[in-house]
Amino acid sequence: MGVFERFLSAWVGLGMLAGIVGGVLFPELFSLLGDIQYAQINMVIAVLIWLMIYPMMMQVDFASIKQFHRRPKGLVVTIVVNWFIKPFSMALLAIFFIRYLFGGWISPSLGEEYIAGMILLGVAPCTAMVFVWSQLTRGDANYTVVQVAINDLIMVVAFAPIAALLLGVTDITVPWDTLLLSVTLFVVIPLIAGAITRHYLHRKGSKQDKLDKLAATLKPFSILGLVGTVVLLFGFQAQTIIDNPLDIILIAIPLLIQTYLIFAVAYMWMKKWKQPHNIAAPGAMIGASNFFELAVAVAISLFGIHSGAALATVVGVLVEVPVMLSLVAYANKTRHQFGADAA
């Protein structure tokens, strides 16, 4: 493990601090970078995430993907946790904490908006960053692609009905441009690029050796992409963090509990069903993390850019990276509790 991986939490912590300081001192610069977006997706962050995902996509073997049906239990856990547990546990936690436990510190109208934003996060399991968490836990690249692909297909038909049910409204408009562009940017394009890379190296001979060397060369850039993403996310929201410290903490508490709860349910279920670690860890990460681009876009379209719902989804973005890194560390420490990884 190189210096980048050993001190990854420290780099992320410094990135968070640099983002807040930079956002306060150079708001025009971060505003300019923040405006480089399409369909609520920031293109600068998209490039950084793509840089993180590409090394993993190079490891995807399309011939092996066809064998995913030999381990259907991993997919069952992912689907059930993401769509039958996570949205409803998030709604319950949000209502309990925001409406009742923290009701004395938050106005009722603003609290309801916070709850709505948190529900939107709960109905949007991860599409992009899970590839990063999978790579950091040495996940099965082929199986992770299948897990994410099936999850995205379900999201197309299930996101709006579940969100409408939990929010108590009937006019949920799914921003299809955000959903489709995210899947294209974070799954389709890097997957194609990885396949082209594998094909090119195969023509040159000794494909695996060359792949390993290229992956090792790109690893520092992948970590820099992660840290750069953190800097931008915290820089974009620096003033919000400074202006609303108490509300952000209150919103973060149920989000943190939800993240650890969903990971624990999926991870322990995978273990009980004797799934290998390189399938269990990424599968648990999908539900624990969120498709924040979609949640933010829907919150803004329904409640407005300055609403409490939008702020709640942004808090979800802010807490995700450090929390998920802690889960990555835990998953790596508990690898020995699982059987041999799937080949």
Give 326-339 pLDDT, tens digit per residue. Answer: 999 999 999 989 87
Q: Assign 12 a pLDDT band (cuts: 50, 70, 90).
A: confident
Q: How many CB atoms lie within 10 A of CB 84?
A: 10
Quote the pLDDT of residue 20.
92
Neighbours of 292 (CB within 10 A): 24
- Residues contacting 282, CB < 8 A, separation 6+: 130, 133, 134, 137, 139, 140, 143, 144, 147
Among 63-67, 98-102, 304-308, the range of highest mean pLDDT: 98-102
Return the percent helix, strand and coil in the chain, to nearest 5: 80, 0, 15
Confirm whether pTM is higher than 0.85.
Answer: no
- Reported as a pLDDT band with limits 50, 70 and 90, residue 300 is confident
**Digit-coded pLDDT (tens) for 222-274:** 888 888 888 998 888 888 889 888 999 999 999 999 999 999 999 999 999 99
Q: What is the pLDDT of residue 255?
A: 96
Q: Among candidates 216, 247, 222, 224, which has minimal Cα distance to 314?
A: 247
C-alpha to C-alpha distance for 37 and 63, rounded to whole angstroms = 36
* pLDDT value of position 96: 96
> What pLDDT sits at residue 239?
86
According to the model, what pLDDT value does residue 4 have?
Answer: 63
**Half-sphere exposure (Cβ direction) of 153: Cα atoms closer than 13 Å:** 7
The per-residue pLDDT for 323 is 92
Q: What is the DSSP letter of 39?
A: T
Q: Is the pLDDT of residue 205 over 80?
A: no
Percent of the chain with pLDDT over 90: 36
Distance, CA of 13 to chain centre? 18
Looking at residue 82, the DSSP 8-state letter turns out to be: I
pLDDT at 328: 95
User: 119-176 pLDDT, tens per residue?
Assistant: 999 998 888 788 889 989 999 988 898 888 888 888 888 888 898 899 886 566 777 8
pLDDT: is 20 or 129 the higher one?
20
pLDDT of residue 241: 84
Asked if pLDDT for residue 1 goes beyond 60, the answer is no
How high is the mean pLDDT of the chain?
Answer: 86
- pLDDT over 90 at 84, yes or no: yes
